[in-house]
C-alpha cells in the first residue's frame, strides 16, 4: 500500500492535476446520505415525537415512546431477544471453531470452503422453509418418528425458542466459520508445536496459544452472528411462537399493525444501541490484546522468505 | 502437509456440521420429486415441477420483478461504489472520512433497522411504495459491498501507475478509462455479482419497502409459506438452487478468464 504522503500528491502537486476525489466519491456519498443516513436520523427524530392519530407523527416533542418501553412485555421481549441472540452466537462460535481449525489444516481447503459456501447459495427464505418442512407437525422428522414407532402423534418441534435458535444458528453459521477459517489459516502452527515442546498440554496449547492468536477472527465472527440475530425478524416470524417473539417482530407490529411509529422508532433505537454497544465492546476487546498479537506478527514475519 | 495428530475431534465436528448444513437442502430436493402432497413418500413424480412451470404464473411475475430490481440496483450500486472507491483510494479530500464512514455503517446495521427507517422515510416524503422504492433500498445496501470490494482490489495497486500515466501526458479521463478501470475490473465484476446475489436474496428490507403489485421472489415465497407447506416451494427451491449453482460456476469461469487476460 502506498503511504499517505504519496497518495495526497494530486491535491498538492503541479497545478495541472486537480483533486478529483470529491467528484469520484461525491455520488456515492450523496446517495448514502439521502437514502441511508437521512432515514436513520428520521427515526431518531420520530422516536422523540408524539404519535399521530392514523400512523405518522405529530410534530411535538414527547418522551412518551421511551416511557412506554418501561413495561413487563417490552422487558420480556428484550430479554428473550438477548437470550436467543447470545445463545445463537455462542453455539455458532463453538461449532465454527473446530470447523475452521479442521478446514485450515486440511489439504483440500478450496473444496471444504465450497462445501461451507454452497448452502449460502440457497435463498434465505427457502432455507427457513426447509426447516419448517423438516420440523413441522407434518414434517420430515415427525413422519420419520411416527413410522419408526417412536411417537404415536406428531411432536410440536416448531414455534418455540429452541426452533428459533436452531434455525438462526443454521442461517448464520457460515458467517462464523468463514472469518474463523481465514484467521486460523494465517496462524503459524509451529507455535503449537513450540508450546508442546515447552511442556504445555494439548489443551493448554489450544487455549493459551491458538485462541489468543486468533482473537481478531473470533471477534469478527461474534459480530457477524450477533448483530443480525439481535435484529432478527424473518426467522422468529416463521418458526417462532408467542414466547419466542423478538424485538424485530415488535418493531414490525408497531409499524404496520398498531401504527405507533414513535414506539417503532424507539424500539429500533434500542436495537441499534445494543448492536452498537456490542460492536464497541468487541473493538475494545480487540484493542486489549498486545501480548497475544505480538507472537502472531513475529511468527508471520519469520515465515516470510 | 504432514499428518496432524488430534484432528479427530475437529474432523467429527466438521462433518457433523456439513450434515447439518446440507440436510435441509437434501430434504427439499428429494421431496420435490414426491408425488404425495405430505412429507410421507408416495413415489417419484414430476407433478410439482409441472405445476410450478405451467400453473404458478405469479411465481414468474415475482421472479421478473426480482431480476429487474437485482440487475438495475446492482448496476447503479456498481457505478457509484466503483467511483467512490477510486476517489477514496487515490485522493485526499475533505469529506473522505465521512464517505468511508457512511459506506461502512450499512454493513453493521441490522437489516430491520434499514428497512424500518426507509419505510418511515418514504412515507415522510410521500413516495408510493413499489418497485422504485425497492430499487432505492437495494441500491443503498448493495453500494457499500461494491465499494469495499473495489477498494480491496485498488489497494493492491501502486499509486505509481497513475503517476506514470500522468507523466506520459494522459488526462484524468484517459487515466480513469485506460488505467484505473481496467485494473479494477475483477473487483468491479465480483462486486456486481455480489450485489445481484444480495438483491435476489433480500427479504427483510424488501418486505418493508414493497407495495401492492411489487412482489419479489422472496416475498412471494413468504406468502406461500404463510399458507403452509406446499410441495411447489420444494420444486421452486430446486430450480433456484440449480440456477444459482449454474450462474456461480459461469461467474467463476468468467472471473478466471478475466484474470488470465
The domain spans of chain B are 49-260
SS (H, E, C) chain A: CCCHHHHCHHHHCCCCCCCCHHHHHHHHHHHHHHHHHHHHHHHHHHCCEEECECECEEEEECCHHHHCCCCHHHHHHHHHHHHHHHHHHHHHHHHHHHHHHHHHHCCCHHHHHHHHHHHHHCCHHHHHHHHHHHHCCCCHHHHHHHHCCCCCCCCCCCCCHHHHHHHHHHHHHHHHHHHHHHHHHHCCCHHHHHHHHCCCCHHHHHHHHHHHHCHHHHHHHHHHHHHHHHCCCHHHHHHCCHHHCCHHHHHHHHHHHCCCHHHHHHHHHHHHHHHHHHHHHHHHHHHCCHHHHHHHHHHHHHHCC
According to the model, what pLDDT value does residue A4 have? Answer: 42
User: Residue A279 is part of which domain span?
Assistant: 78-303
In terms of C-beta density within 10 A (0-12 exposed, 13-18 middle, 19 or more buried), how is residue B246 classed?
exposed
What is the number of structural domains in chain A?
Answer: 1
User: Residue A209: how many CB atoms within 10 A of its CB?
Assistant: 24
CB contact at 8 A, B73 and B61 = no
Chain segment B32-87, per-residue pLDDT in tens = 898 887 777 788 888 889 888 888 888 889 999 999 999 999 999 999 999 999 88
Residue-wise pLDDT tens digits, A126-177: 899 999 989 988 888 998 898 888 888 888 999 999 999 999 999 999 999 9
Among B10, B81, B96, B222, most A C-beta atoms within 10 A, so best to mutate, is B10
Structure confidence at residue B252 (pLDDT): 78
| Whole-structure pTM value | 0.87
Closest CB from B38, B121, B140 relative to A42: B121
The whole-number average pLDDT for the span A67-80 is 92
pLDDT exceeds cutoff 80 at B229? no
Candidate from B20, B91, B105 with C-beta closest to A170? B20
Q: What percent of chain A has pLDDT over 90?
A: 49
* Under 8 Å between Cβ of B236 and A123: no
Q: Give the pLDDT score at A286.
A: 79
Report yes or no on A54 lying in a domain: no
Q: What is the mean pLDDT of the segment spanning A203-221?
A: 88
Whether B64 and chain A come into contact, CB under 8 Å, resolves to no
Residues 6+ away with beta carbon under 8 Å from B20? A170, A173
pLDDT number for residue A143? 87
Segment B183-198, tens digit of pLDDT: 888 889 889 988 998 9
Cα A206 from Cα A201, distance rounded (Å): 9
Residue B177 predicted with pLDDT over 50 = yes
Give per-residue pLDDT as tens, A237-247: 999 988 889 99
Tell whether B28 lies on the interface with A, counting CB pairs under 8 A. yes
Q: Which three cell numbers stand for residue B258?
A: 478475466
pLDDT at B2: 44
Sign of torsion over alpha carbons B129, B132, B134, B136: negative
In which band, very low, low, confident or very high, does the pLDDT at A293 lie, cut at 50, 70 and 90?
very low
Average pLDDT, chain B: 88
Beta carbons of B260 and B99 less than 8 angstroms apart: no
Q: Do the Cβ atoms of A35 and B136 come within 8 Å?
A: yes
Mean pLDDT of B151-180: 84
Residue A292 has a pLDDT of 41
Mean pLDDT, to the nearest integer, of B136-163?
89
Rounded percentage of chain B residues whose pLDDT exceeds 90: 44
Quick one: closest CA in B to A251, which residue?
B116
Residue A248 belongs to some domain of the structure: yes
CB contact under 8 A, B1 and A107: yes
A296: pLDDT strictly greater than 60: no
pLDDT computed for residue B117 by the predictor:
95
Predicted pLDDT at B5: 54
Cell of A150: 417412536
**Residue A289: predicted pLDDT:** 52
A29-38, A91-100, A204-213: which has the minimum mean pLDDT? Answer: A204-213
CB contact under 8 A, B92 and A265: no
Q: Which CATH superfamily is domain B49-260 in?
A: MetI-like (1.10.3720.10)
Is residue A211, in this structure, part of any structural domain at all?
A: yes
Say if residue A37's pLDDT is above 60: yes
Q: Which of A163-167, B157-161, B165-169, B172-176 is predicted least confidently? A: B157-161
Q: Residue B137 in contact with residue B216, Cβ under 8 Å?
A: no
Please state, rounded to an integer, the average pLDDT across all residues of chain A. Answer: 85
pLDDT at B128 exceeding the cut of 70: yes
Query: Does the beta-carbon distance from B159 to A95 stay under 8 Å?
Result: no
Q: Is the pLDDT of residue A233 over 70?
A: yes
Which of the residue ranges A141-145, A271-275, B154-158 would you say has the lowest mean pLDDT? B154-158
pLDDT of residue B118: 96
pLDDT digits (tens, 9 = 90+) for A88-115: 999 999 999 999 999 998 888 889 998 8
**∠ CA(A161), CA(B141), CA(A172), 5° rounding?**
30
Higher pLDDT: A297 or B206? It is B206
Contacts of A281 in chain B (CB under 8 A): none
Chain B residues lying within 8 Å of A7, measured CB to CB: 89-92, 159
pLDDT at A301 over 60: no
Q: What does each C-alpha distance from A150 to A133, A153, B127 come to in angstroms?
A: 19, 9, 56
Q: Which of A96, A165, A95 is nearest to A131 (CA)?
A: A165
Residue pair B35/B49 in contact by the 8 Å Cβ criterion: no
Q: How confident is the model at residue A288 (pLDDT cuts 50, 70, 90)?
A: low
* Complex prediction ipTM: 0.89
The CATH number of the domain holding residue A178 is: 1.10.3720.10
Q: Under a CB-based contact definition with an 8 Å cutoff, are residues A89 and A229 in contact?
A: yes
In the block, residue with C-alpha cell 501502486 = B158
The answer as to whether A155 is a domain residue is: yes
Average pLDDT over residues B9-15: 91
Q: Is the confidence at residue B154, as pLDDT, over 90?
A: no
Q: What is the per-residue pLDDT for B245?
A: 82
pLDDT at B199 over 90: yes
- State residue B174's pLDDT score: 86
Of B11, B83, B240, the CB nearest to A27: B83
Q: Is the CB of B91 less than 8 angstroms away from the CB of A136?
A: no
Amino acid at each position: 500500500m502506498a503511504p499517505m504522503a504519496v497518495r495526497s500528491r494530486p491535491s498538492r502537486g503541479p497545478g495541472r492535476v486537480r483533486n478529483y476525489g470529491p467528484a469520484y466519491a461525491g455520488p456515492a456519498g450523496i446517495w448514502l446520505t439521502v437514502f441511508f443516513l437521512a432515514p436513520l436520523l428520521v427515526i431518531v427524530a420520530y422516536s422523540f415525537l408524539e404519535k399521530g392519530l392514523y400512523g405518522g407523527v405529530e410534530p411535538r416533542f414527547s418522551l412518551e415512546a421511551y416511557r412506554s418501553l418501561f413495561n413487563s412485555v417490552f422487558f420480556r421481549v428484550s430479554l428473550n431477544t438477548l437470550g436467543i441472540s447470545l445463545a445463537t452466537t455462542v453455539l455458532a462460535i463453538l461449532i465454527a471453531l473446530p470447523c475452521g481449525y479442521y478446514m485450515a489444516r486440511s489439504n483440500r481447503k478450496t473444496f471444504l470452503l465450497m462445501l461451507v459456501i454452497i448452502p449460502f447459495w440457497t435463498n434465505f427464505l427457502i432455507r427457513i422453509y426447509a426447516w419448517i418442512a423438516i420440523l413441522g407437525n407434518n414434517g420430515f422428522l415427525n413422519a420419520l418418528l411416527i413410522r419408526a414407532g417412536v411417537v404415536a402423534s406428531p411432536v410440536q418441534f416448531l414455534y418455540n425458542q429452541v426452533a428459533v435458535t436452531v434455525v438462526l444458528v443454521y442461517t448464520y453459521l457460515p458467517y462464523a466459520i468463514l472469518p474463523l477459517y481465514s484467521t486460523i489459516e494465517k496462524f503459524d502452527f509451529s507455535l503449537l508445536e513450540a508450546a508442546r515442546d515447552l511442556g504445555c498440554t494439548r489443551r493448554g496449547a489450544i487455549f493459551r496459544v491458538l485462541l489468543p492468536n486468533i482473537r481478531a477472527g473470533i471477534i469478527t465472527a461474534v459480530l457477524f452472528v450477533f448483530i443480525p440475530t439481535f435484529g432478527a425478524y424473518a426467522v422468529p416470524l416463521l418458526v417462532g411462537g408467542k414466547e419466542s417473539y423478538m424485538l424485530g417482530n415488535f418493531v414490525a407490529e408497531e409499524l404496520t399493525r398498531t401504527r405507533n411509529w414513535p414506539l417503532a422508532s424507539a424500539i429500533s433505537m434500542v436495537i441499534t444501541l445494543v448492536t452498537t454497544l456490542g460492536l464497541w465492546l468487541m473493538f475494545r476487546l480487540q484493542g486489549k490484546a498486545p501480548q497475544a498479537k505480538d507472537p502472531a506478527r513475529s511468527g508471520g514475519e519469520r515465515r516470510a522468505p | 502437509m504432514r499428518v496432524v495428530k488430534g484432528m479427530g475431534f475437529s474432523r467429527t465436528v466438521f462433518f457433523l456440521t456439513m450434515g447439518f448444513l446440507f440436510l435441509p437442502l437434501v430434504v427439499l430436493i428429494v421431496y420435490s420429486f414426491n408425488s404425495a402432497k405430505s412429507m410421507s413418500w408416495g413415489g417419484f413424480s414430476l407433478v410439482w415441477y409441472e405445476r410450478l412451470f405451467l400453473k404458478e404464473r405469479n411465481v414468474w411475475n415475482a421472479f421478473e420483478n426480482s431480476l429487474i430490481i437485482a440487475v438495475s440496483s446492482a448496476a447503479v450500486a456498481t457505478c457509484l461504489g466503483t467511483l467512490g472507491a477510486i476517489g477514496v483510494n487515490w485522493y485526499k479530500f475533505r469529506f473522505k472520512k465521512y464517505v468511508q464512514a457512511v459506506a461502512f455503517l450499512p454493513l453493521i446495521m441490522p437489516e430491520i433497522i434499514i428497512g424500518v427507517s426507509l419505510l418511515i422515510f418514504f412515507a415522510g416524503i410521500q413516495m408510493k411504495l413499489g418497485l422504485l422504492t425497492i430499487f432505492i433500498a437495494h441500491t443503498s445496501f448493495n453500494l457499500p459491498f461494491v465499494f469495499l470490494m473495489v477498494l480491496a482490489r485498488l489497494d493492491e495497486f501502486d499509486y505509481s501507475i497513475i503517476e506514470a500515466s500522468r507523466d506520459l501526458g494522459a488526462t484524468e479521463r484517459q487515466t480513469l478509462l485506460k488505467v484505473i478501470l481496467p485494473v479494477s475490473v475483477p473487483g468491479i465484476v465480483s462486486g456486481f455479482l455480489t450485489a445481484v446475489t444480495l438483491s435476489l436474496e433480500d427479504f427483510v428490507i424488501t418486505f418493508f419497502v414493497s407495495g401492492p403489485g411489487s412482489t419479489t421472489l422472496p416475498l412471494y415465497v413468504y406468502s406461500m409459506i404463510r399458507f403452509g407447506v406446499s410441495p411447489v416451494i420444494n420444486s421452486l427451491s430446486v430450480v433456484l438452487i440449480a440456477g444459482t449453482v449454474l450462474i456461480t460456476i459461469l461467474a467463476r469461469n468468467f472471473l478466471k478468464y478475466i484474470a488470465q487476460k
